[in-house]
Amino acid sequence: MSLVEVKGVSKRFGGLTAVSGVDLTVNAGEIHCLIGPNGAGKSTLFKLIVGLYPPTEGSILFDTVDITAERPYARVQRGMSIKMQAPSVFKELPVRQNIQTALQERLSGSERSAEEDRLLTLLNLAADCDKLAGALSHGQQQWLEIGMALALKPQLLLLDEPTAGMSPEETFRTGELIRSFNSEGMTVLVVEHDMAFVRQVAQRVTVLHLGRIFARGTLDSILQDEKVAEIYLGKTHAH
């Protein structure tokens, strides 16, 4: 059953077409990876799904409901959660307060405190919970933002380059975390460049190129496609 359906979505910024006629289905319970070279339109598509950009054309359905005209907060209330490409946390607030702000609508009292502690421990941030978020390293800020996204307990978790700035060990651990959440029923849509990470987590892969769907399937089938290899090497300019 599909959780997200993107139907014929385009996004133009003046004369630039960032996303063009994209159809994409994300099934409930899967880990779906979006890959493609820089400028392919991956992050723009993410922002369209979550409502940060209105589409120029097309529609977006979440759990069979048309959410095209809804504001981001309403989509989040329906069960979406996103980690942005650049760390987007409350830098002048302590780490714990960042998590608390994400949790407070769902839990209160001792339940919330316990969940804060669980998430901070899970994300290796317990020792830094009183620091300002802006004082964390880039990788730690990525973790914190993932934690804030997870705190909402979403049906659909969107992760835009979640491992940027992380060491190989941290990247692997992030992959294992995502798999564990997925095994509990969470649907995950990931934009990522790191192929080892994609191999670790992806059940289905969609390749975007120049704002259009270029290929889709399993990672192995995608990697055997010579045209995909060519666009990553910059030899193909159009599909």
Partner 1 sequence: MFKLLEGPQTLGRGKMFWSCFLVVLAGALAYPLFADSYDVGNFAYFLIWIFMALGLCLMWGYGGMLSFGQTLFFGIAGYGYGVLAINMGGGTATIAALALSVVLAMIAAGILGYFMIWGGINGIFFGIVTLSATLVLAFFLGQTAGPEWHIGPARLNGFNGMKGMDPLTVGDFYIEGSALYYVMVALIVIVYLALRMLVNSGIGNVIVATRENPQRAEMLGYDVRKYQLLTFVIGSGLAGLSGALYTSWGQFITPSSIGLPAAAMPIVWVAFSGRSDLTATLVGSFLLLFGFQTITVYSQQAALVLMGALLLATVMLAPQGFVLGIGKLAADWWRGRRWPSDVVAEAGRLQPEDS
Q: Which CB, 52 or 195, lies closer to partner 1?
A: 52
CB of 81 to partner 1, least distance (A): 8
Closest CA to 106 of 154, 158, 178: 154
Give the integer Cα–Cα distance in Å for 133 and 128.
9
61-90 binders of partner 1 (CB under 8 A):
71-74, 76-77, 81-82, 84, 88-90
Give the integer Cα–Cα distance in Å for 172 and 168.
6
Task: Report phi then psi at 204, rounded to 5.
Answer: -135, 150
CB of 50 to partner 1, least distance (A): 7
Which residue from 105, 111, 176, 230 is in contact with partner 1, where contact means CB under 8 A? 105
31-60 binders of partner 1 (CB under 8 A):
50, 52
CB of 25 to partner 1, least distance (A): 23
Closest CA to 136 of 81, 84, 87: 87
Give the integer Cα–Cα distance in Å for 220 and 231.
16
Virtual torsion, Cα 221, 223, 226, 229, nearest 10 deg: 160
Interaction between residue 138 and partner 1 (CB under 8 A)? no
Q: Which CB, 156 or 219, lies closer to partner 1?
A: 156
Number of shown-chain residues binding partner 1 (CB under 8 A): 30
Which long-range CB contacts under 8 A does 12-20 form with residues at least 24 apart? 12/56, 17/211, 18/44, 18/211, 19/44, 19/45, 19/48, 19/55, 19/211, 20/210, 20/211, 20/212
Interaction between residue 93 and partner 1 (CB under 8 A)? yes
CB of 152 to partner 1, least distance (A): 7
The label of the residue with tokens 């059953």 reads: 1
Q: Which CB, 74 or 196, lies closer to partner 1?
A: 74
Stretch that binds partner 1, among 26-34, 36-44, 56-64, 130-138 (CB under 8 A): 130-138
Which residue from 27, 104, 167, 221 is in contact with partner 1, where contact means CB under 8 A? 104
Give the integer Cα–Cα distance in Å for 79 and 186.
10
Q: Which CB, 37 or 94, lies closer to partner 1?
A: 94
CB of 145 to partner 1, least distance (A): 8
Contact 190, 159 (CB under 8 A): yes
Residues that bind partner 1 (CB under 8 A): 50, 52, 71-74, 76-77, 81-82, 84, 88-94, 97, 100-102, 104-105, 130-132, 135, 148, 152
